[in-house]
Structure 1
Amino acid sequence: MNTKRILIILGTLLSIVLLITVFSRLDWETFFKTFQTIHLPGILLAAVIIMINIALRSLRWNLVARIPITHFKHFWQAANIGYLGNMIYPARAGEVLKIIAIHHFVPLKLGKAVTSAVLDRVFDMITVGIFTLLVLWIHSQKVDPNLGRSVIGVFILATLVLTLLIIYANALQVRIQRRSFQDKWQWLQEWLLHAVEGVQALRQTSHLFLILLLTSLVFMFDYFWAWQVMLALGWSLPFEAAVTVGVFILLSVSLPSAPGFIGIYQVACVLALKLYGIDESVAVAYSIVMQLLSFLIMGIQGTLVTVYCGFNLSQERQQDLSHLPE
């Protein structure tokens, strides 16, 4: 059994265990009453923000890939296919599907498609680190200090590595070009060169500023729509509560889980909202509203794009490993 199948099995088991644990502790009367308090306009506003955010993420990926903005539509389509894939398949298969999709839609080599997607995620990782530090500072009296030190260490390391790559990108490119690779490793040399080209693009000040601006907007909109759901439920929590929930969710979805991060998502919301005195049953209801809303938007957009583009999701999923070298 390969590593991928093991991760799928472990992720599914973890999600099942977490769901059983969470729902066994519910006060069902409180849980169902929470849904009765929903203010529909707030939910509709949150849905619009989710759609805007998908467009902003697609635009950032477009810029990172250094492809003319006229191809923005294709990056938006590929991103939606990726979100749909993550909802349906385990092990974040949507990340592979969106790379394959953009490779089909745009004259973009597969190696460059991969490196552009990875670099796009690097900006997310660094920004998550910044907001994680903010949440740790806000809740310094309630969070284990060892966790704070670990997050700070990872954040500093990731930032340092990216900075060194940007500074020494030209030297790395020369070394890779001079090094002779065996035929079976030619793909590795090509991918490394594409990765270096992507890092070199970040040295363009105006380009980097726009990417950083989009990244900031993406995260603030993410937290804003999470806050809108809180307001729609009649809660009077500060905006920082949505930031806390967002950070807990982003850190938790890095763990193996079932499709759509079911189970993991619920536990993340419960742990985050516990810091604000929100009852566990109410927090689970909030997590379900959040998840259903994002599933609805991403599912509809992803399905429409898949049908419109004639992209065979299941076929590409079955062959996804064949597109990527071992």
Structure 2
Amino acid sequence: MINKKNIISLIIGIVLTSIIVSIILNIIDWTETWEIIKTVSFKYLIFGCLSILASIFVRSFRWWKISTYPKKEIHLFIKAVFIGYMGNFLIPFRAGELIRIWVVYKLGNKNAIKITLLSITDRATDFLIISSIMVLIIPFVNLPDQLKPIQFFSIIVFIILISISFIGFLYKYSIKNYLNSYSKNEGKFFKLFKKLILNSIEIIETLSKAPFSFLFIFLLVALFDMLSIWFVMLSLGWSLPLISVALYLVIMSFASILPATPGYIGLYQISAIVTFGLYDIGINQAFAYSILLQGITAFSYLTFGSFALLLITPSIIKSYRGS
């Protein structure tokens, strides 16, 4: 649903993107950039696409694993996540997040609130992964003053997410008993709040039952994300320190929080210029890199997402005919 907040966010995104793009276009040498792109190794770009594909598969498995639904439903989660990423790349307001929830809710006959909370929890683990990476690389990267807020924000996010999980796990029974004691005269808001908290505790319990399995899944997500970034570097013949891969992932991830146009136009570019400028990579080289990474990301999301959409279209038609 498009409301005033979404419209304002879109306007801010368009203005922000326009400013970034206009600045970049004025400093880019298109002839040199094109010459750089022409030297690319397509072999590594293919590996980059495969890394993106693997990352989406692992994220699909993570969401399904957190949900604790039957094994036979993992295919539905995979299709929903592929379509969701395609939606995020094509539609403003990060509408892909709502689309993937709707797919699982509609075709899997799930509880809307529970599946929404599961989706939020799943996506929150991405921030935990990114903030953890930033915390780990802080000793090895001397960030300029302009990037200090990202470092500070990463630490704060990391502490908050860990604290909430830890407190929820330690006091889960006390919280449950306290909420269940208010069984009479509950208002609609309290019922919703109670359901959200109880479902959150249920998710924390699920994570705590197999902590090493989930840790391995989180590590795989980070690995495949960084592999796609690294393969594009290799396609251009770069030999930067591996820490630069993690740094770009962190900066791009936090940049994507900002209001943006579909395709995150401008955010890829400014993230590449800022990150690789720390390693004496020229603006034209960084810009060429951003175009290649954005290109294989768009290709992967649109190709795999379209295929997943084709697979579920008969089920969508059937569900509406039966309703």
Structure 2 equivalent of residue 308 of structure 1:
311
Distance 1:299 1:293 in 2: 10
Distance 2:132 2:98 in 1: 27
Matched, 1:203 2:208: yes
Uncovered stretches (5+) of structure 2, i.e. residues with no partner:
317-323
| CA positional deviation for 1:275 | 0.9
| CA positional deviation for 1:248 | 1.0
Letter aligned with residue 2 of structure 1: K
Letter aligned with residue 155 of structure 1: F
More divergent stretch after superposition (97-106 vs 248-257): 97-106
Q: Check whether the contact 2:107–2:315 (CA below 8 A) recurs between aligned residues.
A: no
Matched, 1:269 2:272: yes
Are residues 273 and 312 of structure 1, via their aligned partners in 2, closer, same or farther at CA, if it must alter by over 3 Å? Answer: farther
Are residues 304 and 12 of structure 1, via their aligned partners in 2, closer, same or farther at CA, if it must alter by over 3 Å? Answer: same
SS of residue matched to 1:256: coil
Q: After the TM superposition, which segments of 4 or more aligned residues of structure 1 sit over 4 Å from their partners?
A: 143-146
Q: How does 1:226-245 map to 2 (within 5 A)?
A: 226-245=229-248
Match of 2:115 among 108, 113, 116: 113
Match of 2:198 among 193, 196, 206: 193
Are residues 141 and 61 of structure 1, via their aligned partners in 2, closer, same or farther at CA, if it must alter by over 3 Å? Answer: closer
Distance 1:312 1:247 in 2: 38
Distance 2:291 2:145 in 1: 25
Deviations 1:267-307 (A, max 9, x none): 11110111111111111111111011011111011112112
Structure 1 equivalent of residue 42 of structure 2:
40
Structure 1 equivalent of residue 295 of structure 2:
292
Structure 1 equivalent of residue 66 of structure 2:
64
Letter aligned with residue 199 of structure 1: I
Uncovered stretches (5+) of structure 1, i.e. residues with no partner:
314-326
Count of residue pairs the alignment pairs up: 311
Q: How does 1:1-326 map to 2 (within 5 A)?
A: 2-140=4-142, 142-143=144-145, 146-147=148-149, 148-179=151-182, 180=184, 181-183=186-188, 186-204=191-209, 207-310=210-313
More divergent stretch after superposition (138-147 vs 225-234): 138-147
Q: Check whether the contact 1:90–1:259 (CA below 8 A) recurs between aligned residues.
A: yes
Q: TM-score, normalised by structure 1?
A: 0.89
Structure 1 equivalent of residue 320 of structure 2:
none
Q: Percent identity?
A: 24
Distance 1:130 1:186 in 2: 34
| CA positional deviation for 1:185 | 5.3
Q: TM-score, normalised by structure 2?
A: 0.90
